[in-house]
Amino acid sequence: MTDAVIAYPGHAEPAAFTQAELDWLPWLEPLPSAELTERHWAGLVDASRAKSPYFMLLARDPDILGARTKTDKDIFYNTRGGLPRAERELAAAAASRFNGCIYCASVHARFATQFSKRGADVQRLLDEGVGADLDARWNAIVAASVALSETPVAFGPAHVQRLRAVGLDDLQIADLIHSAAFFNWANRLMLSLGTPAAQG
Amino acid sequence: MTAAPADAIDRLVGANFDAIRAERPQARDNAQASFVALFHPDDAGDFPVADRHAVAVFVAALHGQPAIAAFYAEALPEAWPSLLAAEAERGATHGPYGTFPAGPLSREDKAGKNYRVDATNRAVLGGRLAAALEHAHFLVLHPRDAAPERLQALLDAGWTTTGIVTLSQLVAFLSFQIRVVAGLRALAAAREATP
């Protein structure tokens, strides 16, 4: 039956933040691949995403999925100028750590480590939380991502000044705003529509 | 099809970020395409456009953003904006809060409101929309309290799986859009203070 919640008896979700690869189990039934139309393929953007239960669940509304994915890709992958990729990923990981999305944090902490080569600092963000003392520039980026993730939003001109003081220009600050804001979108989908699982 | 609506983020920010936004043209175009897909869909399915705007008014008000709430209230039946404002006031609190899986993160657990729509207003809004507002409150303020029971509550109120996907995208998208707007407004304010 399509309109039913999927149960995973005995499933134990990961209880700590990690940079290890996790799986994700949907609580609602993804679109069966036999039902994919041209519009669904367009919404998936990359055909390989048809293997992901997360994207196949979101493919039930293909138009918003396609626009979401293209927004995501430009915010993170368009590195023509602006904030270095490592720090966009740091913003994503910090927002995910603060909101409590263990799955999203695992993916973007890995990317932050890959692009920054500062795996120990990234791990301290996961272990100690968003108050971890990393360095002046990363502390300012994490604090800005957290202020943007609060509800009501707490980000204000003082955060902008602090980012400028550690060397960010306005395009870089706009990239940070978009990176943290986007993870407030992604976290809410990953958290609410399924559950992370240890691989293996 | 009516004319394409003007760029929602530009309109809500109210300051000129053309030069910066032109550097990320796909993000700009697809943030707008997301807005159009959710609020001006080709086919609204079983999630009527008025209900989508009602959820948006509530979500914007939970974020303490009256101008964004007013933007989404434009298309609503006359009695709804004040009712939704009253509900958002009942639901207003500071997030994110919630419970982590039991373990080392439990020391970060933070208790908070589990919002329910007022009984009188539930009768006006109907069970489906009331359930949507309750789910939206959870998604906005305490998403780490996620549980399959919350999806079951939507199914019980008459939501389909596809409708739940759209509702989830709508609230999650607004969580993005509102932060981009608030962030760029802060950047504009900082520019005015020290260009």
Domains of chain B, by residue range, sit at 47-91+111-190
Q: Which residues of A170-186 are buried (b: 16+ CB within 10 A; e: fewer)?
A: bbbbbbbbbbbbbbbbb
More confident residue, B130 or A1: B130
Chain B residues in contact with A64 by the CB 8 A cut-off are 34, 37-38, 166, 169-170, 173
pLDDT of residue B1: 43
Per-residue tens of pLDDT for chain A, all 200 residues: 579 999 999 898 999 999 999 999 999 999 999 999 999 999 999 999 999 999 999 999 999 999 999 999 999 999 999 999 999 999 999 999 999 999 999 999 999 999 999 999 999 999 999 999 999 999 999 999 999 999 999 999 999 999 999 999 999 999 999 999 999 999 999 999 999 999 87
Nearest residue in chain A measured CA to CA from B36: A64
Q: Enter the tokens of residue A106.
A: 């695992």
Cβ within 8 Å, pair A157-B143: no
Taking the CA atoms of residue B62, residue B68, residue B69 and residue B72 in that order, the dihedral angle to the nearest 10 degrees is: -130
pLDDT of residue A112: 98
- β-pair type (A22-26, A194-198): antiparallel
Range(s) of the domain holding residue A68: 33-78
> For residue A121, what is the domain's CATH number?
1.20.1290.10
- Whether B183 and chain A come into contact, CB under 8 Å, resolves to yes
pLDDT of residue B5: 80
**Quick one: CA dihedral B178, B179, B185, B188, positive or negative?**
negative
pLDDT of residue B194: 81
Chain A residues in contact with B12 by the CB 8 A cut-off are none
Q: How many domains are contained in chain A?
A: 2
The complex's ipTM? 0.98
Task: Indicate whether A124 and A178 sit together in one domain.
Answer: yes
Task: Indicate whether A69 and A91 sit together in one domain.
Answer: no
- The tens digit of pLDDT for each residue in B146-195 reads 999 999 999 999 999 999 999 999 999 999 999 999 999 999 999 998 87
pLDDT of residue A2: 78
Cβ within 8 Å, pair A161-B190: yes
As a whole number, mean pLDDT of residues B66-78 equals 93
Task: Indicate whether A99 and A153 sit together in one domain.
Answer: yes
Beta-bridge partner residues of A25: A195
Distance between terminal CA atoms of chain B?
A: 42
Instruction: Tell me how far CA of residue A101 lies from CA of A38, A98, A116, A164, B111, in angstroms.
Output: 32, 8, 21, 29, 17
Whole-number Å distance between alpha carbons of B80 and B57: 9
Cβ within 8 Å, pair A151-B160: no
Q: What CATH number does domain B47-91+111-190 carry, 1.20.1420, 3.30.70, 1.10.3470, 1.20.1290?
A: 1.20.1290
Residues of chain B with pLDDT > 70: what percent? Answer: 98
List the single range of A9-13, A180-184, B10-14, B49-53 with lowest mean pLDDT. A9-13
Q: Which residue among A29, A151, A159 places its CB closest to the CB of B62?
A: A151
Task: Indicate whether A70 and A143 sit together in one domain.
Answer: no
Looking at CA atoms only, how far is residue B101 from chain A in angstroms?
Answer: 5
Q: Which residue among A75, A148, A185 places its CB closest to the CB of B24?
A: A75
DSSP B46-85: TS-HHHHHHHHHHHHHHTT-HHHHHHHHTTS-TTHHHHHH
- Nearest Cα to Cα of residue B36 among B70, B2, B63: B2
Instruction: Tell me how far CA of residue A24 lies from CA of A55, A104, A189, A192, B54, in angstroms.
Output: 11, 10, 12, 12, 31
The answer to pTM > 0.80 is yes
Distance between terminal CA atoms of chain A?
A: 28
Cβ within 8 Å, pair A174-B20: yes
Task: Indicate whether A147 and A183 sit together in one domain.
Answer: yes
